[in-house]
Chain A
Amino acid sequence: MKWRKPRNLIMLQGLVLFALGMTMVVAGVQADDVSDAPQPIEFPHDRHAGKFKINCMYCHTYARRSKVAGIPPVAKCIGCHQHLPSVRNKPRIKKLFAYWKAKQPIPWRKVHDLPDFVYFTHKRHVQRFIFKDGRPTQQVCGMCHGDVKTFTVGRKVRAMTMGWCLSCHRQFQGDSDIGKPKPAERWMVPAAATDIPVMDVRFPQPAVLDPEHPKTMKESEIKKMSEHLPRRIREHMVHAPHDCWQCHF
């Protein structure tokens, strides 16, 4: 059982990667470290979620009650497909049954990966937006995962950086927000559900402007305190929960 490959970035590596990143930006390449290894099965999300309109949570059943959305167990696939003789002889389905017969897990390649020091839970997000706010499932999942019903295998369409997280969280912050869903206009428009990477994310600010007295600051307070900051930074300020321990421990 292989442990995760160490990804310790010492200074030098950091610099190299920085340079690499810069090169990629210059070359107009998406900066994600994308392997071109194919998925073991070219899973057609477009057929399942698009054509047949199967709810995302039917297969990604853990999303509403776990940190991870989870890849469905092989048994889940078989549960339906054993009753679907019409597609039984398609190469993808043959492959699926081969795994099932061998009782082997399908070695999917991970598409969405967060750094290990990030605490993220699907459950909270799904509970809030789908079950509490009553939004359509595909719209909610699409906030982060894009318009999956048009994909075959999953693709990463969001940068999934801290700044990107905060770009949403700053709209949903503070006590006033709890229990009172604010209509977040940007998620209502289909633009958010495309697969164009969101690269215009405003970068995160030092969460604490006054290190001696860190706290969750009111917007007006932050405004006042940030007057001395350079304009460039000021404009890109993120007014999010200024509590690093929400996500990093």
Chain B
Amino acid sequence: MAQKRNQDQWTRRAFLKAMGLGGAGSALVLSGCGDTDIINNVDIEVRKELVEPNVDPQDFVRPGVETWYASTCRQCPAGCAVHARVREGRVLKLEGNPNSPVNKGRLCAMGQAGLQGHYNPDRLRKPMLRKQGELVEVSWAEAEDALKKHLGRKNRKLAWLTGAVSGHQAAIIKAHLDAAGVSEDRFFVFDTLPPAVGHAVNESIYGHMMPKYDFGKAELIVSFGADFLATWMSPVHFAAEYAKFRMPPRGTLVQIEPKMTLTGANADRWIPIKAGTEGYLAKALASLLARDSEYASRLPADVLASIKQVNIDEVARITGVPAERIHKLRALLTTKRPSLVLSGSSAEGTAHGAETANAIQLLNVMLGNVGATILPRASSPFPDLEPRMGGWRELAQLADGLNKGAIDTVVVYGSNPLYQAPKALGFEQAWSKAKMRVAFSMFPDETTMASDLVLPIHSYLEEWNTSMPAYAAEDGVLNIQQPVMNPVFGPESTRPFGDLVLQALGTIDGKYRRWKSFADYIKESLLAMRPALKDTFAPTVKGQTAEEAFLQGALSQGFVRIKTGEAKTLKAEPAVVSLPAKPPSQGAKFALVPSPRLGLWDGRHANLPWLQELPDQIAQVVWDSWVEIHPATAEKLGVKTGDLIRVSSKQGSVEVKAVVLPSVRKDVVAIPLGQGHTEYGRYAKGVGVNPYRILDPVYDKQTGELAVYATYVDVSKVADAGPLVTLAHGDLVLESNTSTQAGREIVKTVSAKQFNRTEKEEG
């Protein structure tokens, strides 16, 4: 199905208007009643529109017939492989690539909405240069001169800031740093959702930052805030794993978090826990398990000693989880095995995030899950292509470099710190100190608009690239990204990111002038990698060279598999649990949960109308921000859904409408991430509020990551503001946030016991 190469350069939009593109304009007239012939004739046009043929299309390109191209989704770092449906030179639909081990043919809402980023009306179409303090549009010739001047030279004060990157893109950025004469530690990666703390703790316990999880094998998953169905590394992959996990005999999911995530909404038991106390619960569970020698024996003596003395009632008071529930959890952990214990953002984003994650992983070690459901990985022969992920610590390092004057030129790509960084971090001030800020960007986002040289780049559906998934479902998979159509705005408006970097590189180092484009660079690299790949592609057409056959095969598959070494066994060396005796007192304040959403993600998708109009999975609100408040709290504060609420931290306040929902703890308020843009085009700008802005600068000491879940706020009602815009269920539900099915059997539940009894195992 998937076709091979990009269409010929000349292949123009031909036959756009072949069929069905316009509106059902004359619907009323052609209602099929009465004497309609005359009108019908009037409506049909002759020689009014153009129908332009292709100039010299490839054989498989036929008007009216779809062609599928394999490529890679870049909407989040998960790296799902996609098939893009192309007709008449336009990409119309993205679907998962069924052969991909990451997403197995499926694609989430964000992946589907990639089209609207590609066709976004707010995409940058002209380079911009700051002149007398103002960004003004300039010609590409002028922009290229500026690019060469600032990036095409040795510069010891250069730094790159990117979002999660991998593959050859990461390789050329690194090459650029090398050529400019700066070390790799100036390659800063800032992305807020990948679990930086978790990665660091995994590295220290297991010797690998991201071991492989086998959901299908687990009988029980206990997740401390790991929202694996929505915002944790690879949503589509883990959703597929979840489906496997839920097949008979059905696994049990327990989710422990202060605010219900999508994963929590699908849990068999959702345990609301006081924000920032997950580590205490994990420690208590470890302590209960340690009474059994089987579990205790898996721990070194010093670690065991650190969890020995735990008073369960005290833990119940600290965490807000009843002692009885803690004992039941322990019983679940001992009966359902193997299990899998996960830690996620709400557990890790606390003042003792690394200690908390360590205490959580301790349970896996004690229960013998390491090697059973937590599996080792094989090392890749191409470390430069591996995904680079980073978090708040790297942003702080960049800010530090800027403040000290060690960095004066920043190149930013795929990262938007000016939107995400809390006010308290002072990143704006650091940013303003840079002499030259170069942004490679598709959109006028906050960081781009605060740069000095803005280079509009191709969308991921228009350019060549390779990438590796943030969470590799299978080791050594290198995704290939190829243009699925010609640039929407023509070749003179936007440029491929890789080409521009190569151009800068070529100015410093002549050897990079060898490649005319990043496409050539990638093709050559892929061909050079052939001996290291598992995949071989034999010629399918007579007269095809081995190289052609390989490229055709690799491009239609959409990815290649690299030969990896044997997976070494994981070590299992948890550190001593060193949580303070008590978490900081919250007093009468509320813990603020800045909750990420599958949809707007970290805010990067707020400019995609489909995702703005996709109701939040829990609150069902569209096109807005809101604050989630528990009904009991709401009653105490005299607040109802739709009231305008002021949420204030020490750093500032935001005003936002309330949604009264039972899915948050009584001592927690949650504001979703993603809105509150001050730039970013017509769909995002001025919609809602950004909770990141008011976070306190609290850091996890071990990793230096910002503790995103450690801000405590005051909440007060400002005004009656009227209802929020939510998904209305028509007649089925009287009001969208109601809990009731009004007695009608719309969704009914049966017990897992019955389910396991009556339903056969698949396959």
Contacts and interface: CB of A to CB of B under 8 A. Distances in A.
Indicate, yes or no, whether A interacts with B.
yes
Interface in A1-37: 1, 3-9, 11, 14, 17-18, 20-22, 24-25, 30-37
Given A103-B55, A113-B49, A116-B19, A11 B44 contact: no
20 contacts: A4-B49, A9-B26, A14-B39, A17-B43, A18-B42, A31-B42, A35-B45, A37-B47, A67-B18, A70-B53, A73-B57, A75-B57, A105-B52, A107-B50, A109-B50, A113-B46, A115-B44, A120-B19, A159-B44, A206-B32
A71 B51 contact: yes
A104 interface: yes
Contacts of B17: 4, 110
Interface of B: 10, 12-30, 32-33, 35-57, 62-65
Contacts of B23: 6-8, 116
Interface string A233-244: 000000000001
A204 interface: yes
A161 B44 CA distance: 9
Contacts of A35: 45-48
Contacts of A106: 52-53
Contacts of A1: 13, 16
Closest 4 CB pairs of A and B: A66-B64, A31-B41, A7-B25, A75-B56
A204 B36 CA distance: 8
Contacts of A72: 53
A9 B49 contact: no
Nearest to A102: B55
Nearest to B49: A110
Contacts of A4: 17, 21-22, 49
Interface in A27-70: 30-37, 39, 62, 65-68, 70
Given A14-B28, A62-B64, A62-B65, A163 B53 contact: no
A13 B518 CA distance: 53
A33 B19 contact: no
B37 A163 contact: yes
Interface in A184-214: 201, 203-207
A24 B20 CA distance: 28
A161 B55 contact: no
Contacts of A5: 22, 49
Contacts of B44: 32-33, 113-115, 159-161
A108 interface: yes
B743 to A, nearest CB: 31
A111 B21 CA distance: 17
B32 A21 contact: no
A32 B48 contact: no
B683 to A, nearest CB: 19
A156 interface: yes
Given A68-B18, A116-B24, A159 B41 contact: yes
A108 B56 CA distance: 16
B494 to A, nearest CB: 15
B19 A114 contact: yes
Contacts of A114: 19, 44
A68 B43 CA distance: 20
A154 to B, nearest CB: 10
